[in-house]
Amino acid sequence: MQIANLGFPRIGRQRELKFAQEKYWRGEISQAELKLVAKELRRTHWEWQAQAGVSLLPVGDFAFYDQVLTLSATLNAIPLRHRNEGIDANKVDLDTLFRVARGRAPSGKDAPAGEMTKYFNTNYHYIVPELTVDQEFSLAYEQFFEEVEEAKALGYAAKPVLLGPVSYLFLSKAVGSDFDKLSLLPKLIKTYAELLARFSEQGVEWVQLEEPILALELEADWQAAITSTYEALKDAPVNVLLASYYGTIAHHQALVSSLPVAGLHLDLVTAPEQLSEFAANLQPEQVLSLGVINGRNVWAADIDLIAERIGSVVNDLQGRVWIAPSCSLLHSPVDLDVETELAPALKQQLSFAKQKLTELTQLKALLSTPKSSSDKAEIDAIVATCVARRDAREASADKQVIDRVVALNSDDYERDTQFVNRQSVQQQKYQLPLLPTTTIGSFPQTPAIRGLRSRWRKGEISEDFYNDQLRQVTRDTVERQLKLGIDVLVHGEAERNDMVEYFGEQLQGFAFTQFGWVQSYGSRCVKPPLIYGDVSRPTPMTVEWAEYAQSLTDKPVKGMLTGPVTILHWSFAREDISREQIATQIGLAIRDEVVDLQNAGIGIIQIDEPAFREGLPLKKSDWDAYLKWAVDAFKLSAAGVTDETQIHTHMCYSEFNETIAAIAAMDADVITIETSRSRMELLSAFEDFEYPNEIGPGVYDIHSPNTPTVDEIVELIEKAADKIAVRQLWVNPDCGLKTRTWDEVEPALKNLVQATKVLRRRL
C-alpha cells in the first residue's frame, strides 16, 4: 500500500511565497531571488512528504500565482493582449504569466487582467482561461518540466499533478465569439499527449490528471468528452491517475469505471459511500486511491474509524490501494507546529497539511499487520489517541446550547405577521420617503484606522484610547452621512477588521490561529476562524457601537451583523456535528444579538449573508436540502423581533435565477444586492418571481474608483423601476465601502442622493 498526496500548499508556513511575490512585483527583489524562494519552498515541502512516506511526490502543485494559470501558460493558451511584442509566440515567460494574473508585471505592457473566479465550491480562485474559436495549443512554458528535473535531482520520483483536458476546457471561457468549447478538445488532447510524452522522457511513471467536473451533473456531450479524452490518451507512455474530488462521482460510476486509466482517486471524505461501488468495479490492474484524510479542513482525523471503514477494501485489493488526502492540501493551513498560542486541548484536535501526512503514515500502520510487539504498541498508541480525542470532544459539549437547539419549534423561525402587515407598521414608524437611500455598512477603513487597530493589538495603546478614537471616527462617519442627506444611516464598521473574525472573537466556540493561512488567490491568503465547539453569545457584541451611533442622530441607524450562513462558510467548521446544526447554533447566537439591538432602540437591523450562495452544493439535486437549512438559519437569526423592527439582509454579486424562491423564503423586509455591473439584469429574477418584499438594487459599483454620475444613477434606478414597483425600491451602493477612500465615496454618494431627489420629483 502506497501513501499518496494530491498536492501540498505552496505558500509556506510563514507565507514566504506571498512576501517574495509581492516584493518582486514592487521591484524590490529580482526574478532570480523570487525563484530561489520558490525552489526552497518546494524542497522543504517535498522533504516533509518524503519523510511521511509519500512515494510519488506531487510536482505542479507549486504555482507562482495559480495552478490553472500555470497550465494555461504550459499549453500556450495566453490571451493576445498579455503577450509581449517581439517575444517568440511559442514561448511564455513568468512576467507574461503575471500580466495575465494581475494586468501588470515588472516587465511588459499593462493589459486588463484575466477574470478570476471561484474554484468549484472552495474559497480558492483561479484565473479563467480565455480560449478563442481558432485557439491553438502548444507546449510553451517550461516550469513543469523544470520542476520534474528539480525533484529528480533531489532523488525523488515525481508525479506531475494537473487538471485534465476536459475540466480545463470546462473551466475556461470562450472569447471573441460564442462557440462550443468542446470543438477545441481534439487539439487540446494532442497537446496533452505531447505533455505526457515529455514527462515520460523525463522518467515520469505516473501523472495525476484531475477531472473535478465529475462531481457535477454533466450534460451528455461533456460526459462523452471524458470518455473520448481518456480513450485518446490510452497509449500515452505514462500511467494516468484520474483524480476526482470535492464530492461524489457515483452518478458517473459506469462511465468512470470503464475508462482506460491506470488508477482512480476518489474523495471519500465528502462521499465515503461511493467506495464500495467503485471498488467492486475496479479493472484488474487498476489502482484505487482512497482520499480519506480531509484536505479541506483542519481537524485531526479519526484514523482508527477510517481504518475500520476501508480495511476490507484494502485487504481485497492488496497492493493496488493508495491512501491519500481527499483532495490537494492546498486548502489546508501548512503546519500546526508553528502555532504557539493555541490551548493544548484544542491543538490536539487539529491537523494541518504537514500533520495530515503523518496521519497517513499512521493510517498505513493501522492497516498493516503488526510484525513485532513494538508495531503492536505503536498501533495501540495511535488508537488510544483517537479515542481520547473523541472523549475530549464529547466532554466539552455545551449542554445549554444543545438543549436550546432541541427545543426549537417552527414558530421560532417566523416573524409575528406577514410581510405586508409588517411593511405598513414599519412605514408608520419610520416615515421613510419613496426610494429611501442607505449604504451597505462599512465606510473607508483608512490607514489611520488600520494603524490604530494594529497598535491596539500590539498593546501599544490602551483599550480606552482605541475605543475613544473609534468613537470619533464613528461620529465623523455619521456626520458625513447626515450632510449627504442619506435616509437610513450606518455606523461605518470602523471597529471591525473582518466581518466574520469580529464576531468569532466574541462568540463562544470559536478560536483563532496565528498562522493558519490558506491561499485565496495569487498572493492573497485568508485565515479563517475555527469553530471547534458549541456556539453561543455570552454578551452583546455590537450593541454599544450601535447605541452610540444612534445617539448622534434622530434618523435611523442600522444595526449591522453578519449572518449565520456566512459565518459558517468563512470558518473552518467542526465535523462532529452537521453543518446544519452549526448554522442553527450560530443563528441562535445572532438572534440574541438582534433582540438586544432592538431592545436598545435600534429599529433597523441588517444581517449580511454575502456567502449564502457560495454554500450551494456541486450537484443541483442537493441544492434544496442546503437551501432549506440555510434559509432556516437566517430566519432563526431574524425572527425574534417585533413587526416594527425592520430586518435587512445583504448579498454580494448574485445570480439569483435558480435560488430566488429561497431568497424570498428568507423573508427579510429589505434585501440589498449587487446589480450595477449587470445594469439591473439580475433584478429580472425578482421581477419574474414577483418578489414581494423590498429590494435595494446596487446603483454604484464600489469595485471601481470612478464616480458614477447623477444621470447614470438615475438611469439605473429607472431600469430597476421597470422591473420592480417603485414603492418596493431602495437606493444604495452595491456593497460596503471599506476599500474605497472618502474622496471617492463622498462624491459618489452625493450623486446617489441627488439622483434619488431627481426621481422623487419626477415620480
328 is in an annotated binding site: no
What is the signed CA dihedral for 706, 712, 718, 724, rounded to 10 degrees?
A: -10
Query: Which residues on neighbouring strands pair with residue 290, listed in sequence order?
Result: 266, 323
For cell 490607514, the residue is: 447
- Nearest distance from C-beta of residue 652 to Zn ion, angstroms: 3
Distance between CA atoms of residues 42 and 515, nearest Å = 19
Q: Quick one: 530 or 737, whose CB is closer to Zn ion?
A: 737
- Nearest distance from C-beta of residue 629 to Zn ion, angstroms: 22
Distance between CA atoms of residues 751 and 425, nearest Å = 30
Active-site option among 82, 125, 331, 703:
703
524 is in an annotated binding site: yes
Q: Quick one: 71 or 440, whose CB is closer to ligand GLN?
A: 440
Stretch in the footprint of ligand GLN (CB under 6 A) among 210-218, 224-232, 434-442, 689-697: 434-442
Check residue 561 for interaction with Zn ion (CB under 5 A).
Answer: no
- Reported as type and span, the H/E element at residue 592 is helix 579-599
Q: Quick one: 63 or 449, whose CB is closer to ligand GLN?
A: 449
Check residue 440 for interaction with ligand GLN (CB under 6 A).
Answer: yes
Strand order in the sheet with 694-697: 559-562, 604-608, 646-651, 670-673, 694-697
Antiparallel, parallel or unpaired: β 508-511 and 530-536: antiparallel
Among 579, 635, 650, 740, binds ligand GLN (CB under 6 A): 650
Residues 6+ apart with CB under 8 A from 382: 303, 304, 362, 365, 366
What is the signed CA dihedral for 531, 536, 540, 546, rounded to 10 degrees?
A: 60
Distance between CA atoms of residues 249 and 213, nearest Å = 9
Q: Quick one: 321 or 735, whose CB is closer to ligand GLN?
A: 735
Distance between CA atoms of residues 501 and 512, nearest Å = 9
Q: Quick one: 367 or 449, whose CB is closer to ligand GLN?
A: 449
For 178, other C-beta atoms within 10 Å of its C-beta total 7
Check residue 559 for interaction with ligand GLN (CB under 6 A).
Answer: no
Check residue 735 for interaction with Zn ion (CB under 5 A).
Answer: yes
Sites for ligand GLN among residues 494-533 (CB under 6 A):
499
DSSP collapsed to 3 states, 653-708? CCCCCCCHHHHHHHCCCEEEECCCCCCCHHHHHHHHHCCCCEEEEECCCCCCCCCC
Identify the three-state secondary structure at position 614: helix
- Nearest distance from C-beta of residue 443 to ligand GLN, angstroms: 8
Check residue 69 for interaction with ligand GLN (CB under 6 A).
Answer: no
Q: Which does 662 bind (CB under 5 to 8 A by kind): ligand GLN, Zn ion, none?
A: none
Q: Quick one: 199 or 686, whose CB is closer to Zn ion?
A: 686
- Strands (DSSP E) along 537-660, which ranges? 559-562, 572-573, 604-608, 646-651
Q: Which does 549 bind (CB under 5 to 8 A by kind): Zn ion, ligand GLN, none?
A: none
Check residue 608 for interaction with ligand GLN (CB under 6 A).
Answer: yes
Q: Which does 272 bind (CB under 5 to 8 A by kind): ligand GLN, Zn ion, none?
A: none
Distance between CA atoms of residues 733 and 674, nearest Å = 8
- Nearest distance from C-beta of residue 124 to Zn ion, angstroms: 20
For 143, other C-beta atoms within 10 Å of its C-beta total 20
Distance between CA atoms of residues 423 and 262, nearest Å = 63
What is the signed CA dihedral for 205, 206, 209, 214, rounded to 10 degrees?
A: 140
Sites for ligand GLN among residues 690-749 (CB under 6 A):
735-736, 738
Among 60, 164, 504, 610, binds ligand GLN (CB under 6 A): 610
Q: Quick one: 164 or 528, whose CB is closer to ligand GLN?
A: 528
- Strands (DSSP E) along 211-363, which ranges? 239-243, 263-267, 287-293, 321-325
Sites for Zn ion among residues 630-669 (CB under 5 A):
652
Check residue 490 for interaction with Zn ion (CB under 5 A).
Answer: no
Check residue 15 for interaction with ligand GLN (CB under 6 A).
Answer: no
Residue nearest to ligand GLN (CB): 736
Check residue 363 for interaction with Zn ion (CB under 5 A).
Answer: no
- Reported as type and span, the H/E element at residue 198 is helix 185-201
- Nearest distance from C-beta of residue 737 to ligand GLN, angstroms: 7
- Nearest distance from C-beta of residue 651 to Zn ion, angstroms: 7
Q: Which does 663 bind (CB under 5 to 8 A by kind): Zn ion, ligand GLN, none?
A: none
525 is in an annotated binding site: yes
Q: Which does 504 bind (CB under 5 to 8 A by kind): Zn ion, ligand GLN, none?
A: none
- Nearest distance from C-beta of residue 303 to ligand GLN, angstroms: 37
Q: Quick one: 334 or 594, whose CB is closer to ligand GLN?
A: 594
| Nearest partner of 20 among 7, 33, 4, 3, judged by Cα | 33
Distance between CA atoms of residues 463 and 745, nearest Å = 29
327 is in an annotated binding site: no
- Nearest distance from C-beta of residue 674 to ligand GLN, angstroms: 8
Note whether 607 and 559 are within 8 A (CB): no
Q: How many CA atoms lie within 13 A of 64 on its CB side?
A: 32
Q: Quick one: 279 or 735, whose CB is closer to ligand GLN?
A: 735
Note whether 287 and 241 are within 8 A (CB): yes
CA dist list (Å): 484 to 560, 604, 678, 753: 20, 20, 26, 7
Active site annotation includes 703: yes
| Nearest partner of 565 among 550, 549, 584, 545, judged by Cα | 584
386 is in an annotated binding site: no
Check residue 605 for interaction with ligand GLN (CB under 6 A).
Answer: no
Among 213, 652, 713, 720, binds ligand GLN (CB under 6 A): 652
Check residue 164 for interaction with ligand GLN (CB under 6 A).
Answer: no
Q: Which residues bind Zn ion (CB under 5 A)?
A: 610, 652, 735
Catalytic annotation, residues: 703
Binding residues for L-homocysteine are 440-442, 493, 608
Binding residues are 15-18, 118, 440-442, 493, 524-525, 570, 608, 614, 650, 652, 674, 735
Q: Which residues bind ligand GLN (CB under 6 A)?
A: 440-442, 493, 499, 560, 608, 610, 650, 652, 735-736, 738
